[in-house]
Structure 1
Amino acid sequence: MIHCSTSPMHFDSMHDFQSTSPVYRTIITSLLLVAVLAGPGSTVAQDLVIRAGHLVDVESGSILEDQEIVVREGIIDRVGPWRDGAVGAREESLLDLSERYVLPGLFDTHTHMSLVVDRKKDGGNFFVTSLLDNTPYRAIQGVANARDMLAAGFTTIRDVGNSGNYGDTALKTAITEGLVPGPTMHTAGRIIAPFGGQFFLQPEKRALGEPEYFYADTPGEIRKAVRENLHFGADFIKIVVDDQRYIYSVDEIRLFVEEARRAGTYISAHCWTEQGARNAIAAGVHSIEHGPYMPNDVLEDARKAGVWIVGTEFTVEGLAQSFTGDDLSAIEAEHEAFVDRLRRAHALGVPYVFGSDIVYAKEGETRSSLTFTILDSFRKAGIPPADQLRAMTLSASRMMGLDGQRGLVKTGWAADIVAMPANPLDDTRALEAIDVVIKDGRLFRHADRIGY
C-alpha cells in the first residue's frame, strides 16, 4: 500500500486565503485562534540521549535492559547498550529513563477526533450532534482531543471521518504545520455511503445528512466522491457498506477500490453485517472496520486476502454510551460478538490492529482514558499483552503504510517514544500511566509537565 500524501495548505497572499471556501476560511481562522491562545511553539526537534532502563521490543515481545537511544533531528540515530561516559558534553540533552519501561508511541487506527457525542446536550444521538455542532467548533474539539491523545502516548492516529465538512483535514494541517500539538494523522475526509449514510432521514429533510456523509449510488457518483475527498486532503477513503437495508455490492465496492488505487491509496470499509464484510473482502478493500459478525470462513477470506481487521472492540459501557437504545441484553450480546470475533481472528492468524472508535463524552474521563477501555475487551478475549502491544504499534504502522517510519524504537525510524513505570508486557494497564511522551524527537510530556 502506498500512502497518498498531501501537502499542507499555504497561503501566499490574502487573495489566496479569501479565494478558499467560506467553510475552510472559518475553520482555519478558528484553529489559528486556538494556536494563538495556546502560546508559541517550536517545530524544531531536539537532539536527545535517552537512557532506557527497560526497552520493550514490541516486535519480539522481549525487553532489552539498560539501553541508549540517540535522537537527532527527530530520527533515532542509534539504539544499543548504554555506554558510560558517552554523553559527555551533551549532559544537558540526557533524558534519564533508567527506571522506566520505554516503547514506541502508540497508534489508534480508528478515531473521530472532531466528534463528541454528549448525552447532556444531544441525548446521545449522533444525528443530533451533527446538527448542533458546526464544523469550526468540531475542529476545535479535535484540537482538544488530539492534544489529550498525544499526552496519553498516542503519537499516530487514523481519523476515519465524521468531522463535518473536512474538519479532520483542517486539524491535520494545523498539527502538521505546528499550530497545535497532536499525533501524526491520516484522515478520510467525508465518509462515502449509499443515500442516507448512517442516518435515517425524512423525505422533506433529506439534505440533513450532508456534509456528514457523501452520498454515492452510481458509478459516476462513486468516482466523484473519491476524487473530491482526495482533492480536499484525504489520505485514504472510508466507505459505509451496510448500515441501511441496501448495501454496496461487490462491483460497487470494487469501483471504490480501483479509483483509490489509481490515486495510490486504499479503501477502509465500515462493515457491521456478515454480508457486508463478504462483499468488501471480495472487492479488495484494505481494512474492515468493526466486523463483529464475521464467521470463521469470512475471517479466513480476510486472512488470505491480507485484509486488516480494525475491530473497535467496544466494552458494554462503550456500546451503551455510543448508540441509542436501552436494551442491556442486546448490548451485552453485541459486546460478546466483538470479543468472540477478536478471539477467533487471533487464533486464525488474521491481521488485526487496535482501533477505538470512541466518540462519546463521559464526566471525569478524557478521550484517551476512554480509548484505553478497548483493551478490556482484548484482555477478555485472551489476547496476550505482547500481541496487544503489537496491535497498537508495529502492526498498526504496517496497516497505515508507515512500516520503516513509525512503530518501532529502531535506528532510522521517527523518534516517537513513550515511557511508564510498570511493564506493559505483564499487563497493558501499565499504558494508562504513561508519563513521558516524545513526538518526532520533541519532548511533549515529562511527568506532570505537558506541552512543547
Structure 2
Amino acid sequence: MNKLSLAVPLSLLCVSAFNTQATTYISAKAMLDINNGKLINAPLLQIDDGIITKITTKQTPKLQQGDEHIELPELTILPGLMDMHVHLTSDPTVPRSERIGQSVPRQAIKAAYFAEKTLKAGFTTLRNVGAEGYSVIAVRDGINAGDIIGPRIWAAGPSLGVTGGHCDNNRLPPEMKYTAEGVADGPWAVRAKVRENIKYGANVIKFCATGGVFSKGTKVGIQQYSLEEMTAIVDEAHMRGLTVAAHAHGTSGITAAIKAGVDSVEHVSFVDDEAIKLAKKHGTWFSMDIYNTEYTLTFGEQNGVAEENLAKERQVSKKQRDSFSRAVKAGVNMVFGTDAAIYPHGDNAKQFARMVEFGMTPLQAIQSATINSAKLLKQDSNLGQIKVGFAADIIAVKGNPLDNISQLEQVEFVMKAGEVY
C-alpha cells in the first residue's frame, strides 16, 4: 500500500509531462461479480479519467508512455464499499462530557481525519446523517475540491427533530436556553428547516421520528414527529430532489415514516409485520446498525456513556437483531448502515459478519454495501459496480469474501475515481 500510494502521484507527474490521455490498468487474480456471486479469473480493467472504460480477462495491457499498470496478482477486486449511516464528527473514544465542549471547527477537523481513515478501510462512499454547523458538508466540499482525502459523501446538515426529542440536546440546564440547530416543530417549521439545510449544502435530509439510545430523557420506542410533520419534511425534500432518512426505533414511528414516503428508515429496532409489509409495498430501504452493541456495552461506561443510555442499548440490541432477521427473511430492501461513531471509524466492515450471522448470505451483505446503497442514493447508473461506464471505485482483498466475509475487514487496496489511496 505504501509503495502504491507513493508511486501513483509520481506516475501522475509523468502523465502530465508525456501523455495527457494516460490510461490506468488494473489486473488481479480475480474479480467478484456482485450481481451473481461469480468469481471472474484474471480480469483486466482499463480506466480513463476515473471511469472504467473496458473490462477483459487474461489480457496484458499495451502501455503507452505515462500509462500505469497496477498488478494485484494475489488479490480479488470488487466495488468500493458504501456505508449509509455514519457520523464523522463524533469520536466514541472521547468521553461524552468532552464532546459537548468541542467547537464546530474542531468537529470538522475530526470529520476530515475520520473520512480519510474510513476511505482507507475500503469505504469509498458514505452517507453522513447529521452533524452540527454544516461541518461535514464543508469536509465533503473539501474532498471534492481536492483539499483533503476522503470518500464520496452525501451529507445531511443538522438532523431535524422535535423540541426535547432525540435530535435536540437535553443535557444542558434550562438557563442556558440551548436548542439544537435542527429543531423544528410543526409542518411549516420543518419545511423551513429542510430549506435551510439545502441552502447550506445538504444533499440528503435526516430527521428523528422516535426517541433514541444516546439522547437524554427520550424513550427509544416513542414516536416524536407526527405523520403530518413527517410528510411535510419528505414532500419538501423530494420536491428539491433530495432523499430522506428517518431515525426510527419504535414501531409507530417506523410505520409513520414509511407512510410519509421516506427513502430509508434507520435502526428499525421494533418492527412489526405491518411495517414490513408497508416497507415492501413502498420500496423503503432499511438501514440497520447491528454491529455496535458489543462495543457500546463493553466500552461505553469508560467512555462516559450514562447508565440511562446503556440500559436503552440493552433494551434495543436483541430486538433490533431479531427485526433484522425478520426483515431479511421477508425480502425488505436493505442497505449497509453502521452508525459509525458509536464504535470507532474505520471498523465499518466488522458489521458484515453480524449481517451474515443474523440471516443474510455473504453476497446479500456485500450487495447491501454496493448496488443497494447506490440505488438508495439514486446513483446506481454510475456507482456500486465494477462495470464499463461506472466510477473506478475499487477495493481488493485476499481470497473470496463470499467464502470468508471477514476478509472485508482487511482491505489491501483502495481506489476511488481512478486514484489509489
State TM-score, norm by structure 1. 0.81
> How many percent of aligned residue pairs carry the same amino acid?
27
Task: Give unmatched runs, 5+ long, in structure 2.
Answer: 1-8, 212-217
Match of residue 400 from structure 1: 377
Structure 1 residues 284, 58: closer, same or farther in 2, change over 3 A?
A: same
Equivalent runs, 1:205-244 vs 2, <5 Å: 205=175, 207-211=177-181, 214-243=182-211, 244=218
Equivalent runs, 1:352-367 vs 2, <5 Å: 352-360=334-342, 366-367=344-345
Task: Give the number of equivalent residue pairs.
Answer: 391
Aligned counterpart for 1:117 among listed residues 92, 101, 112: 92
Give the match's secondary structure for 1:367: coil
The separation in 2 between residues aligned to 1:164 and 1:190, in whole angstroms, is 5
Structure 2 letter corresponding to 1:368: G
Aligned 8 A contact 2:243 2:377 in 1: no
The separation in 2 between residues aligned to 1:237 and 1:330, in whole angstroms, is 26
The separation in 2 between residues aligned to 1:239 and 1:272, in whole angstroms, is 12
The separation in 2 between residues aligned to 1:261 and 1:113, in whole angstroms, is 25
Match of residue 269 from structure 2: 292
Match of residue 29 from structure 1: none
Q: How much does 1:167 deviate? A: 0.5
Match of residue 344 from structure 1: 326
Match of residue 375 from structure 1: 352
CA RMSD of superposed structures (Å): 2.5
Structure 1 letter corresponding to 2:285: W
The separation in 2 between residues aligned to 1:329 and 1:194, in whole angstroms, is 23
Match of residue 106 from structure 2: 137
The separation in 1 between residues aligned to 2:313 and 2:100, in whole angstroms, is 26
Structure 2 letter corresponding to 1:358: A
Q: How much does 1:273 deviate? A: 0.5
Check if 1:433 corresponds to 2:403: no
The separation in 2 between residues aligned to 1:186 and 1:433, in whole angstroms, is 25
The separation in 2 between residues aligned to 1:87 and 1:177, in whole angstroms, is 32
Q: How much does 1:201 deviate? A: 5.0
Q: How much does 1:88 deviate? A: 4.2
Equivalent runs, 1:28-427 vs 2, <5 Å: 47-84=23-60, 86-89=61-64, 93-118=68-93, 121-122=94-95, 125=96, 128-161=97-130, 163-198=131-166, 199-200=169-170, 204-205=174-175, 207-211=177-181, 214-243=182-211, 244=218, 247-320=224-297, 321=299, 324-325=306-307, 331-332=313-314, 334-360=316-342, 366-369=344-347, 371-427=348-404
Give the match's secondary structure for 2:307: coil
Structure 2 letter corresponding to 1:438: M
Structure 1 letter corresponding to 2:174: E
Residues 180-213 of structure 1 show CA distances to partners (whole Å, capped at 9, x for unaligned) of 00000000011110012423356624633423xx
Give the match's secondary structure for 1:302: helix
Aligned 8 A contact 1:87 1:94 in 2: no
Match of residue 215 from structure 2: none
The separation in 1 between residues aligned to 2:340 and 2:83, in whole angstroms, is 10
Aligned 8 A contact 2:157 2:202 in 1: yes
State TM-score, norm by structure 2. 0.87
Q: How much does 1:295 deviate? A: 1.3
Structure 1 residues 278, 80: closer, same or farther in 2, change over 3 A?
A: same
Q: How much does 1:278 deviate? A: 0.9
The separation in 2 between residues aligned to 1:338 and 1:376, in whole angstroms, is 16
Residues 327-374 of structure 1 show CA distances to partners (whole Å, capped at 9, x for unaligned) of 97874553222221111111111001111102146xxxx5112x2232
The separation in 2 between residues aligned to 1:430 and 1:412, in whole angstroms, is 27
Match of residue 8 from structure 1: none
Aligned 8 A contact 1:385 1:424 in 2: yes
The separation in 1 between residues aligned to 2:185 and 2:293, in whole angstroms, is 34
Q: How much does 1:398 deviate? A: 0.6
Give the match's secondary structure for 1:373: helix
